Structure 1
Amino acid sequence: MPMVDRPRFLCVHPSAELYGSDRAFLESVEAIRARWPEAVIEIELPMTGPLVPELERISTVRIKPRRTIARTRFIPTATRFLLGYPFAATYALNRMRKFDAVYINTVVPLDFISAGALIRRRICLHVHEIPGRSMSRVLGWLFSMSAGRVIFNSAATQKAFNIGKTPSVIVHNGFEMPALTERDADDGRFKVLLIGRISWWKGQRLLVSAIDRLPAPVRDRLDVRIVGSPIPGREDEVVQLKAQIEAQDLTDIVTIHPFVDDPSFHFRWADVVAVPSLEPEPFGRVAAEGGAYGRPVIASAHGGLTEIVADKETGWLFTPGDADDLARALTEAADNPALLRTLGQAGRTRVNALFSRAAIDAKLTDALAAVIGSGR
């Protein structure tokens, strides 16, 4: 493989917020800069947002609006995407040809991914999603045609796709371990934190349903924070969640807080972190962050969450979608304050061992090094 003294990278991402995949993209670009300090790095986003100034500390950001396919509005967004596809794919191909390696984050930039078939050995695709079975088959075929190397963010994500003989590697999200600080002053409340997009599949409504199933002594001292914002255009998700909280007479127990760029104070407030996702999480960054802060995690037993949470060792796993089983886990946690500290310490040790930033960055940039200079 020819050596490139000053490699040129194009880094493509479909969002400009600071949720899980956005933070993972930022960390990937930081890792590229750290390994290749003299590299030319150009970053392409479809919009502006809080991610942009973070990336501009590292390199140049180009804002180029892009049509994407949204699961919640599949038919109209897919139609618009297909109508504009010839122009979008031509733009993407011309753009990518100027670089030694193209790092595409998530499966959303389909114009770049599909156009990559003509220069596939330069393409490194980082997959953070677990779509349905039919879509997984289609995307797996596309990956095998368009990517020189595929990075999956968990074993669960890798298992969802058949990419043939295309080289792939599992690279979990990496974390800088936060300083371990004491919890907020004990006021006798049992504090449960849920951070994430407010969406039906993230399980906010399941958590609220589980509260009704708690024993009165647990419910009476419960304090729940739901932190997050909806996808633009899906504000009805928040309306429905608030209506459920009011209908169950839980407004004194459950509060909704807007998304914040730095949620560290929420983690330090919490006794436990809940990740009750109804669909499999490809990784489950919030679960790993909870462990990094020394907080036990109560999580659905599917997807990447099972690679993060060790049941009864660093937290609790419960049957996905089962409010009764979630209530059982919450009750065990609330009734065992000494165990919370033990499991939290074990969780922090596990996250540090499996997801340390240095080790993860090395694996990711090794995958990129494999495609540098190998374009045909």
Structure 2
Amino acid sequence: MLQVLPALVTGGVERGTVDTAKALVRAGWKAYVASAGGPMVRELERAGAVHVTLPMASKNPLQIWRNVEKLEELIRTLPVDLVHVRSRAPAWSARAAARRCHVPFVTTFHNAYKAHNWFKRFWAGPMARADHVVAISNFVAEHAHRRFGVPESLITVIPRGTDLNWFDPSRVYPDRIAKLAKEWRLVDGLPVILLPGRLTRWKGHAVLLRALDILARRRGRQDFTAVLLGDNQGRNAYQAELEELIARYDLKTSVRLPGGAKDMPAAYMLADVVVSASIEPEGFGRIAVEAQAMGKPVIATDHGGARETVLPGDTGWLVPPGDAEKLAEALEAALALTPQRRLQIAALARAHVQRRFTVDGMTDGYLKVYTDLLFPQRG
């Protein structure tokens, strides 16, 4: 079994790849991963999978063509019985190599890939021309069918899985929380509003800042701390825009931009409410699921995968994308929750994730797809 992706850096695609490889090894399969490498290679190899370093992140047509030959050689010599690709650029090479070797070819739509012009549809084309397509949400599945013409019979929805051993409130010790609280310069007694996510415009940071301004004016005070948690990944101009908005709204004492954080469970533990303010629909919405696993109420935008991960009225709120007024109303409601209601939400939220969004559930789904393709007579 060969999984192919651009690189093994930190992210939802990479996390799913490594978790699937671990499950394959436990089930007695030989698990191979081809990518340009990255910090998660070590974890992959510790689990017993084999990593092959190839320039799979390249979008250069010449390199893509060269990768076909390299992958074909891998498939024939290892040998490989099935190829699973998780991104558009390497899909061109992986599909061609799989077809040459007459092995099943599986793709995962990790997002609702853009298809508003011919080139976008062309670029994502190999992802749709597979023996089976996995979608990470019903929203993505519908998009793959409607915009890329993938037959519904060839689509399986497998939501991303969350590691409930890592995202477990009972396993986050006080020293981890205290360390992060000091780094963020939190003020004792003030509730914390957390928006995790890299600093990029579509994540909706500006919408949250407008909502915080509205909230502060309604309450007549800034009795909260908001943390915009994420690296700017070189988007210095965008971060400067956010800092200008913070100054314009006179929120300097109430908003933190600490960069990224490695200890996300501790970050969630510090939050009184977690916000996902994306102005474009997300294919899944990992932040909302992780926050709920930690027992935190969530406010997310009412589109994309969030409609499938948040239970309005039970585990959080859904608000119209880009609507700062509605977001401010939801923030006010979240900050007004009683301790008893918070405990109820925490229990409902974690149970919701345990039912639908576990790593085991995800990997079981993938193994079933692989097995059904390789051994159709068993069905």
TM interval, shorter chain, is 0.7 to 0.9
Over 3 Å counting, the alpha-carbon distance change for 1:247 and 1:51 in structure 2 is farther
Alignment check: 8 A CA contact 2:198 2:232 kept: yes
Instruction: Report what 1:89 is aligned to.
Output: 68
1:172 to 159, 180, 187: 159
Cα offsets for 1:288-335 (capped at 9, x unmatched) = 000000001100011111101011111000001111111111111112
Over 3 Å counting, the alpha-carbon distance change for 1:140 and 1:315 in structure 2 is same
**Count of aligned residue pairs for this structure pair:** 350
What pairs with 1:1-376 in structure 2 (closer than 5 Å)?
A: 9-36=1-28, 39-48=29-38, 50-58=39-47, 59-69=49-59, 81-97=60-76, 98-115=79-96, 116-119=98-101, 121-134=103-116, 137-138=121-122, 141-145=125-129, 147-162=130-145, 163-164=150-151, 167-177=154-164, 178-181=167-170, 187-216=188-217, 217=219, 220-231=222-233, 233-338=234-339, 339-372=341-374
RMSD of aligned residue pairs (Cα, Å): 2.6
Q: More helix per residue: 1 or 2?
A: 2
User: Residue type matched to 1:133 in 2?
Assistant: A
Greater RCO, 1 or 2 (C-alpha within 8 Å, sep 6+): 1
Following TM superposition, by how much is the alpha carbon of 1:21 offset from its aligned partner in structure 2, in angstroms?
Answer: 2.2
Tell me the TM-score normalised to structure 1 length. 0.84
Q: SS in structure 2 opposite 1:192?
A: strand
Q: SS in structure 1 opposite 2:116?
A: helix
Structure 1 unmatched runs, 5+: 1-8, 70-80
Tell me the TM-score normalised to structure 2 length. 0.83
Alignment check: 8 A CA contact 1:228 1:259 kept: yes
Q: How many angstroms apart in 2 are the aligned matches of 1:108 and 1:225?
A: 34
Following TM superposition, by how much is the alpha carbon of 1:193 offset from its aligned partner in structure 2, in angstroms?
Answer: 1.2
Over 3 Å counting, the alpha-carbon distance change for 1:67 and 1:358 in structure 2 is closer
Alignment check: 8 A CA contact 1:175 1:355 kept: yes
Q: How many angstroms apart in 2 are the aligned matches of 1:120 and 1:236?
A: 48
| Identical columns (%) | 25
Structure 2 unmatched runs, 5+: 179-186
Which shows bigger deviation, 243-252 or 113-122? Answer: 113-122
Q: SS in structure 2 opposite 1:43?
A: strand
